[in-house]
Amino acid sequence: MLTLKNLRVAFGEHEVLKGIDITVQKGEVVTFIGPSGTGKTTLLRSINYLEKPSDGEVKLSDVGINFKSANKKDILKLRRKTAMVFQQFNLFKHKTVIENVMDAQIAIQKKSKKEAYEKSCEELEKVGLLEKKDMYPSRLSGGQQQRVSIARALALEPEVILFDEPTSALDPELVGEVLKVIENVARSGMTILLVTHEMRFAKNISSKVVFMDQGHIVEQGTPEEIFEKSTHIRTRQFLKEYYETEEELAVANV
C-alpha cells in the first residue's frame, strides 16, 4: 500500500538517506530503529514531505509521486493521506483541545462545524481526554498533549500515521499512557510507521522492524528476526549497546 523507491535526501553536500526502498502493507506496524543521526526522522518527514527528497518515488494507494518532479498539488495530496505525530507534540497553542482536533477537518476536509465537533469528541474519547476538550494545551501534561496530537492526526482518517519518537520528550511516568494509545491505534488496523527507542514496545507491537544505519536500511524482518536472530554485526552491536545503556540506567535508578 505504501511503497518507497530509491528515496534520497541530502542536506547540502551531506547525503542523509542514500536510497531507501520499502513496502508497507495496509494495517502493518513498521518500526524503525538505528543509531542516532541515521536518518530515521528524515525518512518519516520525507513521507510527509516535510523534507524535500532529491530523488525517489513514493506510492500511497492512488497517489504516486516522483520526488524529482513533485508539484504542489501532489504534495498536498500526500500530506492529506499521511499524518505525523511529532516528538514535541506541536499542538496549536491558541486553540483549545477540541479546536486543535477540529480545525483541519474544517479547513481541509471542509466538514461542517457540527460534523467536525462530533468526530473530534469521538477521537478524544478514544485517547481518554474528552473531559479536557475545552482546555488549552499549556494546561495539559506532555503525555496528554501527545494524546491530543494523536487524536488530531486520527481525526483526518489518514491512510498512514507516522510517529517520530512520540515518547522521547516525556517524563518517564507519562510514557506508558501514550504507548497505550498507540497500541490501540495499531489494534484498530491503522497502518503505522514508528521511530522509537522503546525497544520492548517495538518488539511487542511491530509486525516488521527495520534496522537503519548511516542512511541505509541494513535489514528488516519480524521483531523476532531482528531482535533475537539477527546475524548482522551492526544490528547486534546496536542492540547490545542499547541494552547495556538500558542496564546502566536501571542500575543508576535503583
Contact residues for ligand ATP, defined by CB under 6 A? 11, 16, 36-42
Length of the chain in terms of residues written: 254
Minimum distance from residue 71 beta carbon to other proteins (Å):
13
Nine cell digits for residue 71: 508539484
| Residue 162 beta carbon to other proteins: minimum distance, rounded to whole angstroms | 8
Backbone angles phi, psi at 171, to 5 degrees: -65, 145
Could you write out the DSSP letters of every residue in 24-43? E-TT-EEEEE--TTSSHHHH
User: Would you count residue 103 as binding other proteins (CB under 8 A)?
Assistant: yes
Q: How far is the CB of 197 from ligand ATP (least distance, A)?
A: 7
Residue 156 makes contact with other proteins by CB under 8 A:
yes
Q: Are strands 2-11 and 14-24 parallel, antiparallel or unpaired?
A: antiparallel
Residue 167 or 235 having the CB closest to other proteins: 167
Phi then psi for 235, rounded to 5 degrees?
Answer: -65, -45
Q: 156 or 212, CB closer to ligand ATP?
A: 212
Question: Minimum Å distance from CB 85 to other proteins?
Answer: 9
Strand partners, 57: 5, 66
Question: Looking at beta carbons, which residue is closest to Mg ion?
Answer: 41
The answer to whether 33 and 41 have CB atoms below 8 angstroms apart is no
Grouping H, G, I as helix, E, B as strand and the rest as coil, residue 93 is coil
**Which spans of this chain sit near other proteins (rule: CB under 8 A)?**
48-50, 72, 76, 79-80, 82-84, 86, 88, 90-94, 103-104, 107-108, 136-139, 149, 152-153, 156
